[in-house]
Amino acid sequence: MMSMVLDKRNMSEEQMIKGCLENNPLAQKTLYNKLGPKMMGVCLRYMTNAEEAQDVLQDGFVKVFDKLGAYSGAGSFEGWVRRIFVNTALDALRKNKKLKHQAQIDDVTFALKSSDFTFETLVAEDLMKLLQGLPLGYKTVFNLYAIEGYSHKEIAKKMNVTISTSKSQFSRAKAMLRQKITELEKE
């Protein structure tokens, strides 16, 4: 057990990690309460409904607690946890074979306007609804590239597709989002 009593209100990140490594329930609860809502947002971006996202959230925290000893302290702890959750969501999609329907769409043309679109006028809830409305492949690539910061090369490797397919899926996701935003502006 820890030599000092942990108070979750005053627990530093280092104390929380150390407590979790020692299987301290208060430290584990503090970690869950601190990162759970953010990681649920990550899960919701990849999964098709809240129930699937909740399953991924649970699996992700199990992996975080199991792999916590591998956290080197280099870089952001939250970023390290986020990467586990993204990989857990992708694993769940692969397990359910939802990414299997990815087709090579390089030979299909799709017109994009040259102007960039922004989400400045949208609130987070609206953006989540728009993202949930995208086809799964588009949504997954958009999340990985635009939100998580993966390169198309990394996405191609993770999703077992070509780099050009990743780029194409991203372009189509942007176009669909642009169209949905335009429709919202007209309402």
| pLDDT at residue 177, rounded to an integer | 87
In angstroms, rounded to a whole number, what is the distance separating the alpha carbons of residues 46 and 131? 9
Contacts of 84 (CB under 8 A, 6+ apart): 60, 63, 64, 67
How many CA within 13 A on the CB side of residue 149?
3
Place of tokens 């057990």: 1
Q: Over its length of 187 residues, how does the chain's per-residue pLDDT go in tens digits?
A: 443 444 555 788 999 999 999 999 999 999 999 999 999 999 998 888 889 999 999 999 999 999 999 998 888 999 999 999 999 999 898 887 654 444 334 333 333 333 344 444 456 667 778 888 888 889 999 989 988 889 999 999 988 889 999 999 999 999 998 888 888 777 6
- CATH for 13-95 is 1.10.1740.10
| pLDDT at residue 38, rounded to an integer | 93
Handedness of CA 141, 142, 148, 150 (dihedral sign): positive
Identify the CA nearest to 177 among candidates 123, 124, 131, 125: 131
Identify the CA nearest to 41 among candidates 120, 125, 105: 125
Domain ranges of the chain: 13-95, 124-186
Query: What would the pLDDT profile of 83-132 be if each residue is shown by its tens digit?
Result: 999 999 998 988 876 544 443 343 333 333 333 444 444 566 677 788 88
CATH architecture of 124-186: Orthogonal Bundle (1.10)
Would you state the structure tokens that stand for residue 70, as one six-digit string? Answer: 């591998």
| Region at 25 (left for phi over 0; alpha for psi -120 to 50; beta for the rest) | alpha
Identify the CA nearest to 91 among candidates 63, 69, 111: 63
